[in-house]
Amino acid sequence: MPKWTRQRLNTPDGDFIDVDWRKDEIDLSPERPLVILFHGLEGSSSSHYAQAFAHETHQRGWHMAVPHFRGCSGEINWAPRAYHSGDFEEVGWILSRIREQHRGPLYAVGISLGGNALMRWAGEMGQTATKYVDAIASVCSPIDLTASGKAIDAGINKWLYARMFLGTMKPRAMEKLKQFPGLFNPHTLMAAKSLYEFDQVFTAPLHGFKNTDDYWARASAKPGLSRVQVSALVLNACNDPFIPASSLPALNQVSAWVKLCQPEAGGHVGFASGTFPGDLQEMPWAVTDWMSQHG
């Protein structure tokens, strides 16, 4: 298990972002590469993929940091907002702050929700992105939020996964309501049975979207992949239960800077190898190896 040391960044709107650094950073040269990992929905530095990347970066002698989206570091954030799949302004602010601290190569990896936000940022920034990062990667990211949202809210996914996500998202939303009474209707939120309904009550209105449909359409990274001008890897397994293979981008929908990797198997942030339950190091190794060649 990796050990982390925490840094708190104060945001321009009077809130904070907690960044966990792998604890052995102090022994590494500041010129060594740094991997910044943006976690997925309800994720953190404790997520299995963060631990796998921590192991891989340690093996390579690289630095690593995990910024927590607001409310995901174990302490409720102070502002009347949370985080969302298209939070590219937040991603950009975090990258700019960490770029100020680091002299060596800087790579950014986004897992699931974090990958969509990262790719959304790259599409917005164009060539300017290279001022902050040397290469980026999204892993199992729902870059077409409408397609993925419908997939999670349907069939067995709704019973297994949507219910699991809502089990943590609803209590956090209710904590936010205690901070800011009247922010949303608690009865409507607690009655939500799908991510669509939750986003309609909470995520969309708190972050400047008209409704869930507007949020899912405007926050999706897929339309902006043709504008990306920094080395980028977009990795999606075709059997990901959250992301229909039919919604994945084709070569004619991305810029020449974007490398598409769409293996048949891997599930959602799995890519296990070996005998059951499997070794989860293959994916972090492949991503960091690609970055070392393209950054």
Segment 117-140, tens digit of pLDDT: 999 999 999 999 999 999 999 999
Active site residue 268: yes
Of 47, 73, 85, 112, which residue is the catalytic one? Answer: 112
- Non-local (6+) Cβ contacts of 131 within 8 A are 99
pTM of the model: 0.95
Q: How far is CA 5 from the centre of its chain?
A: 20
161-189 pLDDT per residue, tens = 899 999 999 999 999 999 999 999 999 99
Domain boundaries, the chain: 4-144+221-294, 145-219
209-237 pLDDT per residue, tens = 999 999 999 999 999 999 999 999 999 99
What pairing do the DSSP bridges indicate for beta strands 232-235 and 106-111? unpaired
pLDDT score at 27:
63
Angle at 85 between CA 2 and CA 293, to 5 degrees: 55
Residue 295 has pLDDT above 80, yes or no: no
pLDDT score at 159:
84
* Angstrom distance (rounded) from CA 136 to CA 235: 11
pLDDT score at 28:
66
pLDDT score at 194:
96
Tell me if the domain spanning 4-144+221-294 has CATH number 3.40.47.10.
no
Of 39, 63, 68, 268, which residue is the catalytic one? Answer: 268
245-258 pLDDT per residue, tens = 999 999 999 999 99
Of 20, 134, 199, 240, which residue is the catalytic one? Answer: 240
Active site residue 58: no
Active site residue 63: no
What tokens were used for 125? 């920034």
DSSP strands (E only) in 11-127: 16-22, 34-38, 63-67, 106-111
For 22, 139, 193, 250, 257, the CA distances from 127, given in Å and listed in that order, are 30, 22, 41, 22, 10
33-78 pLDDT per residue, tens = 999 999 999 999 999 999 999 999 999 999 999 999 999 999 999 9
Residue 178 near residue 249 (C-beta atoms within 8 A): no
Mean pLDDT for the chain overall: 94
184-211 pLDDT per residue, tens = 999 999 999 999 999 999 999 999 999 9
